[in-house]
Structure 1
Amino acid sequence: MKPISKFDRFHAEVRSNKWLGHFTILVRIALAYAFIFAGFIKVNGERFTSLSNNHPMGHYLEALFHTGYYYTFIGVLQMLAGVLLLIPRTALLGALIYFPVILNIAVLSFAVRFDGSILTSPLMVLANLYLICWDWHRIKFILPFKKSAFKGVLPDFSTRSNKFPFRFLTGVFIVMAIVVAMVVTMNFKAIMPRNMISDCEDQCPDSSNPEACIAFCECIHNEGNSLDDCLKRYGEDFSK
Protein backbone atom coordinates (compact mmCIF):
# COMPACT_ATOMS: atom_id res chain seq x y z
CA MET A 1 0.00 0.00 0.00
CA LYS A 2 1.32 3.44 -0.95
CA PRO A 3 2.21 5.88 1.86
CA ILE A 4 -0.55 8.28 0.73
CA SER A 5 -3.14 5.50 0.89
CA LYS A 6 -1.92 4.46 4.33
CA PHE A 7 -2.20 8.01 5.59
CA ASP A 8 -5.68 8.27 4.05
CA ARG A 9 -6.80 5.22 6.02
CA PHE A 10 -5.19 6.50 9.22
CA HIS A 11 -6.79 9.91 8.68
CA ALA A 12 -10.23 8.35 8.17
CA GLU A 13 -9.89 6.40 11.42
CA VAL A 14 -8.87 9.53 13.31
CA ARG A 15 -11.68 11.64 11.85
CA SER A 16 -14.29 9.03 12.73
CA ASN A 17 -13.34 8.98 16.43
CA LYS A 18 -15.66 11.01 18.66
CA TRP A 19 -13.03 11.66 21.33
CA LEU A 20 -10.52 13.02 18.85
CA GLY A 21 -13.24 15.28 17.50
CA HIS A 22 -13.60 16.77 20.99
CA PHE A 23 -9.80 16.99 21.30
CA THR A 24 -9.62 18.89 18.02
CA ILE A 25 -12.20 21.40 19.25
CA LEU A 26 -10.11 22.02 22.39
CA VAL A 27 -7.00 22.56 20.27
CA ARG A 28 -8.85 25.07 18.09
CA ILE A 29 -10.14 26.98 21.10
CA ALA A 30 -6.69 27.10 22.74
CA LEU A 31 -4.95 28.35 19.60
CA ALA A 32 -7.74 30.80 18.84
CA TYR A 33 -7.59 32.29 22.34
CA ALA A 34 -3.83 32.83 22.09
CA PHE A 35 -4.02 34.72 18.80
CA ILE A 36 -7.20 36.68 19.51
CA PHE A 37 -5.66 37.94 22.76
CA ALA A 38 -2.29 38.77 21.16
CA GLY A 39 -3.95 40.32 18.12
CA PHE A 40 -6.26 42.52 20.20
CA ILE A 41 -3.27 44.05 21.99
CA LYS A 42 -1.75 45.03 18.65
CA VAL A 43 -5.01 46.32 17.18
CA ASN A 44 -5.53 48.36 20.35
CA GLY A 45 -2.16 50.02 19.78
CA GLU A 46 -0.48 48.66 22.92
CA ARG A 47 3.02 47.27 23.32
CA PHE A 48 2.97 43.50 23.46
CA THR A 49 5.45 43.08 26.34
CA SER A 50 7.21 45.15 28.97
CA LEU A 51 10.65 43.92 27.92
CA SER A 52 13.48 46.40 27.99
CA ASN A 53 14.50 47.75 24.59
CA ASN A 54 17.99 46.40 25.30
CA HIS A 55 16.70 42.83 25.25
CA PRO A 56 17.06 41.08 21.85
CA MET A 57 13.32 40.45 21.68
CA GLY A 58 12.72 43.93 23.05
CA HIS A 59 14.70 45.36 20.12
CA TYR A 60 12.43 43.54 17.70
CA LEU A 61 9.14 44.30 19.42
CA GLU A 62 9.97 47.98 19.85
CA ALA A 63 10.82 48.29 16.15
CA LEU A 64 7.67 46.35 15.26
CA PHE A 65 5.56 48.62 17.44
CA HIS A 66 6.77 51.66 15.49
CA THR A 67 5.88 50.23 12.07
CA GLY A 68 2.48 51.86 12.23
CA TYR A 69 -0.32 50.07 10.41
CA TYR A 70 1.92 47.04 9.78
CA TYR A 71 1.77 46.37 13.52
CA THR A 72 -2.00 46.70 13.37
CA PHE A 73 -2.13 44.48 10.28
CA ILE A 74 -0.39 41.64 12.15
CA GLY A 75 -2.90 42.01 14.97
CA VAL A 76 -5.83 41.89 12.55
CA LEU A 77 -4.35 38.80 10.88
CA GLN A 78 -3.93 37.06 14.24
CA MET A 79 -7.47 37.88 15.32
CA LEU A 80 -8.83 36.78 11.93
CA ALA A 81 -7.02 33.45 12.16
CA GLY A 82 -8.32 32.95 15.70
CA VAL A 83 -11.94 33.72 14.82
CA LEU A 84 -11.83 31.49 11.75
CA LEU A 85 -10.56 28.62 13.89
CA LEU A 86 -13.66 28.87 16.08
CA ILE A 87 -16.01 28.41 13.12
CA PRO A 88 -16.14 24.78 11.89
CA ARG A 89 -16.64 25.72 8.23
CA THR A 90 -13.68 28.09 8.21
CA ALA A 91 -11.38 26.25 10.63
CA LEU A 92 -9.07 25.01 7.87
CA LEU A 93 -8.65 28.52 6.44
CA GLY A 94 -7.90 29.75 9.96
CA ALA A 95 -5.27 27.03 10.43
CA LEU A 96 -3.63 27.87 7.10
CA ILE A 97 -3.44 31.58 8.00
CA TYR A 98 -2.27 30.72 11.51
CA PHE A 99 0.63 28.49 10.43
CA PRO A 100 3.09 30.96 8.83
CA VAL A 101 2.52 33.43 11.67
CA ILE A 102 3.19 30.95 14.48
CA LEU A 103 6.10 29.38 12.59
CA ASN A 104 7.66 32.84 12.31
CA ILE A 105 7.17 33.39 16.04
CA ALA A 106 8.80 30.03 16.82
CA VAL A 107 11.85 30.74 14.65
CA LEU A 108 12.13 34.25 16.11
CA SER A 109 11.93 32.90 19.67
CA PHE A 110 14.83 30.53 19.04
CA ALA A 111 16.83 33.15 17.14
CA VAL A 112 16.76 35.64 20.04
CA ARG A 113 16.49 32.99 22.79
CA PHE A 114 13.30 34.48 24.21
CA ASP A 115 12.05 32.68 27.32
CA GLY A 116 8.50 33.92 26.84
CA SER A 117 7.72 31.79 23.79
CA ILE A 118 10.69 29.50 23.21
CA LEU A 119 8.72 26.59 24.67
CA THR A 120 5.12 27.43 23.83
CA SER A 121 5.64 28.47 20.20
CA PRO A 122 6.99 25.10 18.92
CA LEU A 123 4.13 23.34 20.71
CA MET A 124 1.70 25.71 19.00
CA VAL A 125 3.32 24.91 15.66
CA LEU A 126 2.70 21.20 16.30
CA ALA A 127 -0.90 21.91 17.34
CA ASN A 128 -1.40 23.95 14.18
CA LEU A 129 0.01 21.15 12.03
CA TYR A 130 -2.40 18.75 13.72
CA LEU A 131 -5.34 20.95 12.72
CA ILE A 132 -4.10 21.12 9.15
CA CYS A 133 -3.75 17.33 9.04
CA TRP A 134 -7.24 17.02 10.54
CA ASP A 135 -8.57 18.48 7.28
CA TRP A 136 -6.20 16.46 5.10
CA HIS A 137 -9.12 15.18 3.02
CA ARG A 138 -9.76 18.78 1.93
CA ILE A 139 -6.28 20.17 1.34
CA LYS A 140 -4.63 17.21 -0.40
CA PHE A 141 -6.40 17.93 -3.68
CA ILE A 142 -4.26 21.04 -4.13
CA LEU A 143 -1.03 19.04 -3.68
CA PRO A 144 0.90 17.74 -6.72
CA PHE A 145 -0.14 14.09 -6.38
CA LYS A 146 -1.80 11.84 -8.91
CA LYS A 147 -5.56 11.78 -8.60
CA SER A 148 -5.46 8.00 -8.71
CA ALA A 149 -3.92 8.09 -5.23
CA PHE A 150 -7.10 9.63 -3.83
CA LYS A 151 -9.53 6.74 -4.07
CA GLY A 152 -11.86 6.57 -1.09
CA VAL A 153 -10.30 9.68 0.36
CA LEU A 154 -13.15 11.16 2.38
CA PRO A 155 -13.70 9.66 5.83
CA ASP A 156 -17.01 7.99 6.52
CA PHE A 157 -18.82 9.91 9.26
CA SER A 158 -21.96 7.76 9.22
CA THR A 159 -20.64 5.76 12.15
CA ARG A 160 -18.50 7.40 14.80
CA SER A 161 -16.29 5.38 17.10
CA ASN A 162 -16.64 5.83 20.87
CA LYS A 163 -13.39 3.98 21.57
CA PHE A 164 -11.03 6.16 23.57
CA PRO A 165 -7.87 6.74 21.46
CA PHE A 166 -5.24 5.83 24.05
CA ARG A 167 -2.52 5.05 21.50
CA PHE A 168 -3.06 8.21 19.48
CA LEU A 169 -3.15 10.56 22.47
CA THR A 170 -0.18 8.76 24.03
CA GLY A 171 1.74 9.44 20.84
CA VAL A 172 0.70 13.10 20.98
CA PHE A 173 1.94 13.48 24.54
CA ILE A 174 5.19 11.64 23.74
CA VAL A 175 5.89 14.06 20.88
CA MET A 176 5.10 17.00 23.16
CA ALA A 177 7.40 15.59 25.86
CA ILE A 178 10.22 15.18 23.34
CA VAL A 179 9.84 18.79 22.16
CA VAL A 180 9.75 20.08 25.74
CA ALA A 181 12.80 18.00 26.68
CA MET A 182 14.74 19.26 23.66
CA VAL A 183 13.93 22.90 24.41
CA VAL A 184 14.69 22.56 28.14
CA THR A 185 17.98 20.78 27.39
CA MET A 186 18.94 23.47 24.91
CA ASN A 187 18.13 26.21 27.42
CA PHE A 188 20.07 24.39 30.14
CA LYS A 189 23.21 24.10 28.04
CA ALA A 190 23.09 27.47 26.29
CA ILE A 191 23.51 30.84 27.93
CA MET A 192 20.24 32.75 27.78
CA PRO A 193 19.61 36.52 27.97
CA ARG A 194 16.48 35.94 30.10
CA ASN A 195 13.94 38.72 30.51
CA MET A 196 15.78 40.81 33.10
CA ILE A 197 19.44 41.22 34.06
CA SER A 198 18.79 39.71 37.50
CA ASP A 199 17.31 36.61 35.90
CA CYS A 200 20.21 36.45 33.48
CA GLU A 201 22.79 36.65 36.28
CA ASP A 202 21.01 33.92 38.24
CA GLN A 203 22.38 31.38 35.75
CA CYS A 204 25.98 32.58 36.19
CA PRO A 205 26.91 30.74 39.43
CA ASP A 206 26.34 27.42 37.63
CA SER A 207 28.36 28.55 34.61
CA SER A 208 31.87 27.29 33.90
CA ASN A 209 32.97 30.93 33.71
CA PRO A 210 30.76 33.12 35.96
CA GLU A 211 32.63 36.30 35.09
CA ALA A 212 32.10 35.79 31.36
CA CYS A 213 28.43 35.06 32.04
CA ILE A 214 27.97 38.28 34.02
CA ALA A 215 29.72 40.23 31.28
CA PHE A 216 27.30 38.67 28.78
CA CYS A 217 24.29 39.78 30.85
CA GLU A 218 25.65 43.31 31.11
CA CYS A 219 26.36 43.32 27.38
CA ILE A 220 22.71 42.52 26.71
CA HIS A 221 20.78 44.39 29.37
CA ASN A 222 23.00 47.37 30.23
CA GLU A 223 24.82 48.04 26.97
CA GLY A 224 22.00 47.01 24.62
CA ASN A 225 24.24 45.17 22.17
CA SER A 226 22.95 42.52 19.78
CA LEU A 227 22.75 38.90 20.85
CA ASP A 228 25.34 37.87 18.26
CA ASP A 229 27.84 40.48 19.46
CA CYS A 230 27.34 39.50 23.10
CA LEU A 231 27.66 35.81 22.31
CA LYS A 232 30.87 36.52 20.40
CA ARG A 233 32.24 38.49 23.34
CA TYR A 234 31.11 35.74 25.71
CA GLY A 235 33.00 33.17 23.65
CA GLU A 236 36.13 35.30 23.70
CA ASP A 237 35.89 35.86 27.46
CA PHE A 238 35.12 32.19 28.05
CA SER A 239 38.26 31.07 26.20
CA LYS A 240 40.53 33.27 28.31
Structure 2
Amino acid sequence: MNSFSKLDALHLKVRQNKWFNYFTVFNRVALAAGFLPAGGVKIMGERFTDLHNNQPMGHYLEALYHTGYYYTTIGILQVVAAMLLLIPRTALLGVLIYFPIILNICILSLAVRFEGSLLTAPLMVISCIYLLCWDYHKLKAILFSGTVVVTQPKITDNKFPFKFFSGVFAFLVLFVFTITHVFDLMPRNTVTDCKTQCDDAKNPGACNVFCECIHLKGQPFDKALDDYHTALKQ
Protein backbone atom coordinates (compact mmCIF):
# COMPACT_ATOMS: atom_id res chain seq x y z
CA MET A 1 0.00 0.00 0.00
CA ASN A 2 1.53 3.33 -1.07
CA SER A 3 1.45 6.54 0.92
CA PHE A 4 -1.60 7.93 -0.85
CA SER A 5 -3.55 4.72 -0.25
CA LYS A 6 -2.69 4.79 3.47
CA LEU A 7 -3.71 8.44 3.68
CA ASP A 8 -6.96 7.72 1.84
CA ALA A 9 -7.75 4.87 4.22
CA LEU A 10 -7.03 7.01 7.28
CA HIS A 11 -9.07 9.88 5.89
CA LEU A 12 -12.05 7.61 5.21
CA LYS A 13 -11.83 6.14 8.70
CA VAL A 14 -11.87 9.62 10.25
CA ARG A 15 -14.86 10.75 8.18
CA GLN A 16 -16.80 7.66 9.23
CA ASN A 17 -16.40 8.55 12.91
CA LYS A 18 -19.37 10.30 14.55
CA TRP A 19 -17.26 12.45 16.88
CA PHE A 20 -15.01 13.74 14.13
CA ASN A 21 -18.13 14.79 12.23
CA TYR A 22 -19.36 16.68 15.29
CA PHE A 23 -15.96 18.33 15.66
CA THR A 24 -16.03 19.37 12.02
CA VAL A 25 -19.44 20.99 12.42
CA PHE A 26 -18.19 22.78 15.54
CA ASN A 27 -15.20 24.18 13.64
CA ARG A 28 -17.36 25.39 10.77
CA VAL A 29 -19.85 27.11 13.06
CA ALA A 30 -17.11 28.64 15.22
CA LEU A 31 -15.29 30.04 12.20
CA ALA A 32 -18.51 31.40 10.74
CA ALA A 33 -19.34 33.08 14.05
CA GLY A 34 -15.95 34.77 13.97
CA PHE A 35 -16.37 36.33 10.53
CA LEU A 36 -20.08 37.21 10.35
CA PRO A 37 -20.02 40.15 12.79
CA ALA A 38 -16.57 41.31 11.65
CA GLY A 39 -17.63 41.27 8.01
CA GLY A 40 -20.99 42.88 8.75
CA VAL A 41 -19.31 45.87 10.41
CA LYS A 42 -17.15 46.43 7.33
CA ILE A 43 -20.08 46.12 4.94
CA MET A 44 -22.00 48.74 6.94
CA GLY A 45 -18.97 51.04 6.65
CA GLU A 46 -18.29 51.26 10.37
CA ARG A 47 -14.95 51.17 12.17
CA PHE A 48 -13.98 47.72 13.39
CA THR A 49 -12.53 48.90 16.73
CA ASP A 50 -12.18 52.06 18.81
CA LEU A 51 -8.41 51.71 19.22
CA HIS A 52 -6.62 55.05 18.94
CA ASN A 53 -4.40 55.66 15.94
CA ASN A 54 -1.08 55.49 17.81
CA GLN A 55 -1.71 51.90 18.90
CA PRO A 56 -0.06 49.64 16.25
CA MET A 57 -3.19 47.66 15.36
CA GLY A 58 -5.34 50.78 15.65
CA HIS A 59 -3.07 52.58 13.19
CA TYR A 60 -3.44 49.73 10.70
CA LEU A 61 -7.21 49.43 11.11
CA GLU A 62 -7.70 53.17 10.75
CA ALA A 63 -5.74 53.14 7.48
CA LEU A 64 -7.72 50.11 6.34
CA TYR A 65 -10.98 51.89 7.15
CA HIS A 66 -10.06 54.69 4.74
CA THR A 67 -9.41 52.38 1.76
CA GLY A 68 -12.97 52.72 0.49
CA TYR A 69 -14.44 49.74 -1.33
CA TYR A 70 -11.38 47.63 -0.45
CA TYR A 71 -12.56 47.73 3.17
CA THR A 72 -16.08 46.80 2.09
CA THR A 73 -14.81 43.99 -0.15
CA ILE A 74 -13.00 42.38 2.77
CA GLY A 75 -16.25 42.47 4.72
CA ILE A 76 -18.19 40.91 1.86
CA LEU A 77 -15.63 38.12 1.51
CA GLN A 78 -15.74 37.46 5.24
CA VAL A 79 -19.53 37.16 5.23
CA VAL A 80 -19.56 35.03 2.08
CA ALA A 81 -16.90 32.70 3.50
CA ALA A 82 -18.86 32.37 6.75
CA MET A 83 -22.13 31.59 4.97
CA LEU A 84 -20.49 29.04 2.68
CA LEU A 85 -18.96 27.29 5.69
CA LEU A 86 -22.41 26.69 7.13
CA ILE A 87 -23.53 24.76 4.06
CA PRO A 88 -21.93 21.29 3.86
CA ARG A 89 -21.75 21.23 0.04
CA THR A 90 -20.03 24.62 -0.13
CA ALA A 91 -17.94 24.36 3.05
CA LEU A 92 -14.72 23.68 1.14
CA LEU A 93 -15.15 26.81 -0.98
CA GLY A 94 -15.86 28.70 2.21
CA VAL A 95 -12.66 27.60 3.91
CA LEU A 96 -10.63 28.30 0.76
CA ILE A 97 -11.86 31.92 0.90
CA TYR A 98 -11.56 32.08 4.68
CA PHE A 99 -8.03 30.73 5.02
CA PRO A 100 -5.98 33.49 3.30
CA ILE A 101 -7.95 36.18 5.11
CA ILE A 102 -7.44 34.71 8.58
CA LEU A 103 -3.81 33.85 7.81
CA ASN A 104 -3.19 37.53 7.04
CA ILE A 105 -4.92 38.52 10.29
CA CYS A 106 -2.85 35.96 12.19
CA ILE A 107 0.46 37.24 10.85
CA LEU A 108 -0.61 40.83 11.52
CA SER A 109 -1.66 40.01 15.10
CA LEU A 110 1.68 38.36 15.84
CA ALA A 111 3.66 41.14 14.14
CA VAL A 112 2.11 43.93 16.24
CA ARG A 113 1.42 41.72 19.28
CA PHE A 114 -2.28 42.59 19.32
CA GLU A 115 -3.85 40.84 22.30
CA GLY A 116 -7.34 41.06 20.82
CA SER A 117 -6.58 38.32 18.29
CA LEU A 118 -3.23 36.98 19.45
CA LEU A 119 -4.84 33.74 20.62
CA THR A 120 -7.90 33.48 18.39
CA ALA A 121 -6.32 34.20 15.00
CA PRO A 122 -3.72 31.38 15.13
CA LEU A 123 -6.38 28.96 16.40
CA MET A 124 -8.67 29.96 13.52
CA VAL A 125 -5.82 29.28 11.08
CA ILE A 126 -5.36 25.83 12.60
CA SER A 127 -9.11 25.27 12.41
CA CYS A 128 -9.02 26.09 8.69
CA ILE A 129 -6.17 23.63 8.17
CA TYR A 130 -8.21 20.95 9.92
CA LEU A 131 -11.17 21.64 7.62
CA LEU A 132 -8.92 21.50 4.57
CA CYS A 133 -7.71 18.11 5.76
CA TRP A 134 -11.33 17.07 6.32
CA ASP A 135 -12.06 17.77 2.65
CA TYR A 136 -8.77 16.25 1.53
CA HIS A 137 -10.59 13.90 -0.85
CA LYS A 138 -12.18 16.84 -2.66
CA LEU A 139 -8.91 18.75 -2.93
CA LYS A 140 -7.17 15.63 -4.20
CA ALA A 141 -9.87 15.08 -6.80
CA ILE A 142 -9.70 18.70 -8.00
CA LEU A 143 -5.90 18.75 -8.22
CA PHE A 144 -5.38 15.37 -9.85
CA SER A 145 -8.53 14.56 -11.80
CA GLY A 146 -10.46 17.80 -12.14
CA THR A 147 -13.62 16.32 -10.63
CA VAL A 148 -15.06 16.48 -7.14
CA VAL A 149 -16.54 13.56 -5.23
CA VAL A 150 -19.08 14.95 -2.75
CA THR A 151 -20.46 11.68 -1.41
CA GLN A 152 -20.45 11.63 2.38
CA PRO A 153 -19.40 8.20 3.67
CA LYS A 154 -21.84 6.53 6.05
CA ILE A 155 -21.04 7.00 9.72
CA THR A 156 -20.16 3.56 11.04
CA ASP A 157 -17.87 4.36 13.99
CA ASN A 158 -19.26 5.76 17.26
CA LYS A 159 -16.06 5.30 19.26
CA PHE A 160 -14.84 8.46 20.95
CA PRO A 161 -11.29 9.27 19.74
CA PHE A 162 -9.68 9.91 23.13
CA LYS A 163 -6.14 10.15 21.76
CA PHE A 164 -7.08 12.82 19.22
CA PHE A 165 -9.05 15.02 21.61
CA SER A 166 -6.48 14.55 24.36
CA GLY A 167 -3.90 15.77 21.87
CA VAL A 168 -6.11 18.74 20.99
CA PHE A 169 -6.48 19.65 24.66
CA ALA A 170 -2.75 19.30 25.32
CA PHE A 171 -1.99 21.42 22.27
CA LEU A 172 -4.38 24.16 23.42
CA VAL A 173 -2.78 24.30 26.86
CA LEU A 174 0.73 24.43 25.38
CA PHE A 175 -0.31 26.98 22.77
CA VAL A 176 -1.94 29.35 25.26
CA PHE A 177 1.05 29.08 27.60
CA THR A 178 3.50 29.75 24.75
CA ILE A 179 1.63 32.73 23.29
CA THR A 180 1.18 34.35 26.70
CA HIS A 181 4.87 33.95 27.60
CA VAL A 182 6.78 34.25 24.34
CA PHE A 183 6.70 38.06 24.16
CA ASP A 184 8.64 40.08 26.70
CA LEU A 185 6.61 43.25 26.17
CA MET A 186 3.17 44.02 24.77
CA PRO A 187 1.85 47.35 23.44
CA ARG A 188 -1.60 46.71 24.97
CA ASN A 189 -4.57 48.88 23.98
CA THR A 190 -3.88 52.00 26.06
CA VAL A 191 -0.88 53.60 27.69
CA THR A 192 -2.31 52.82 31.14
CA ASP A 193 -2.76 49.14 30.31
CA CYS A 194 0.68 49.05 28.77
CA LYS A 195 2.33 50.40 31.89
CA THR A 196 0.72 47.77 34.13
CA GLN A 197 3.33 45.29 32.87
CA CYS A 198 6.28 47.55 33.63
CA ASP A 199 6.59 46.68 37.31
CA ASP A 200 7.51 43.14 36.33
CA ALA A 201 9.66 44.14 33.34
CA LYS A 202 13.44 43.70 33.34
CA ASN A 203 13.83 47.46 33.00
CA PRO A 204 10.71 49.26 34.35
CA GLY A 205 11.95 52.67 33.25
CA ALA A 206 12.58 51.56 29.67
CA CYS A 207 9.21 49.83 29.67
CA ASN A 208 7.45 53.08 30.61
CA VAL A 209 9.34 54.87 27.86
CA PHE A 210 8.25 52.15 25.42
CA CYS A 211 4.59 52.63 26.34
CA GLU A 212 4.79 56.41 26.03
CA CYS A 213 6.60 56.19 22.70
CA ILE A 214 3.86 53.94 21.34
CA HIS A 215 0.72 55.55 22.73
CA LEU A 216 1.68 59.18 23.31
CA LYS A 217 4.34 59.90 20.68
CA GLY A 218 3.09 57.57 17.96
CA GLN A 219 6.46 55.99 17.24
CA PRO A 220 6.58 52.86 15.06
CA PHE A 221 6.19 49.68 17.11
CA ASP A 222 9.44 48.12 15.87
CA LYS A 223 11.46 51.23 16.72
CA ALA A 224 10.00 51.49 20.22
CA LEU A 225 10.66 47.80 20.80
CA ASP A 226 14.23 48.05 19.49
CA ASP A 227 14.88 51.00 21.80
CA TYR A 228 13.60 48.96 24.75
CA HIS A 229 15.84 46.00 23.92
CA THR A 230 18.80 48.37 23.49
CA ALA A 231 18.12 49.80 26.94
CA LEU A 232 18.18 46.29 28.42
CA LYS A 233 21.74 45.81 27.17
CA GLN A 234 23.04 49.03 28.72
Find the aligned partners of 2:219 and 2:171 in 1 and give their Cα distance.
Answer: 36
SS at match of 2:200: coil
Q: CA deviation at 1:156?
A: 7.6
Find the aligned partners of 1:3 and 1:168 in 2 and give their Cα distance.
Answer: 21
Q: Deviations over 1:93-114 (max 9, x none)?
A: 0011100000100000001110
Q: Deviations over 1:147-172 (max 9, x none)?
A: 8xxxxx99882452111121222222
Structure 1 window deviating more from structure 2 (66-75 vs 21-30): it is 21-30
Residues 199-210 of structure 1 aligned to structure 2 (within 5 Å): 199-210=193-204
The residue that corresponds to 1:224 in the other structure is 218
Find the aligned partners of 1:214 and 1:156 in 2 and give their Cα distance.
Answer: 57
Specify whether residues 154 and 71 from structure 1 end up closer, same or farther in structure 2 by C-alpha distance, changes over 3 A only.
closer
Residues 94-105 of structure 1 aligned to structure 2 (within 5 Å): 94-105=94-105
Residue type of the alignment partner of 1:169: F
The residue that corresponds to 2:15 in the other structure is 15
Residue type of the alignment partner of 2:219: N
Residue type of the alignment partner of 2:159: K
Asked if structure 2 preserves the Cα contact closer than 8 Å seen for 1:15 and 1:155, the reply is no
**Corresponding pairs, count:** 231
The residue that corresponds to 1:108 in the other structure is 108
Q: Gapped runs of 5+ residues in structure 1?
A: 148-152
Asked if structure 1 preserves the Cα contact closer than 8 Å seen for 2:16 and 2:155, the reply is yes
Find the aligned partners of 1:120 and 1:76 in 2 and give their Cα distance.
Answer: 21
Residue type of the alignment partner of 2:175: V
The residue that corresponds to 1:164 in the other structure is 160
The residue that corresponds to 2:6 in the other structure is 6
Q: Gapped runs of 5+ residues in structure 2?
A: none
Residues 78-157 of structure 1 aligned to structure 2 (within 5 Å): 78-143=78-143, 157=153
Alignment root-mean-square deviation, CA: 1.8
The residue that corresponds to 2:75 in the other structure is 75
Q: Do residues 191 (structure 1) and 195 (structure 2) align?
A: no
Asked if structure 2 preserves the Cα contact closer than 8 Å seen for 1:13 and 1:155, the reply is no
**Percent identity of equivalent pairs:** 55
Find the aligned partners of 2:201 and 2:52 in 1 and give their Cα distance.
Answer: 24
Q: Deviations over 1:168-210 (max 9, x none)?
A: 22222222223222212213xx211011111110110111110
TM-score between both structures, scaled by the size of structure 1: 0.91
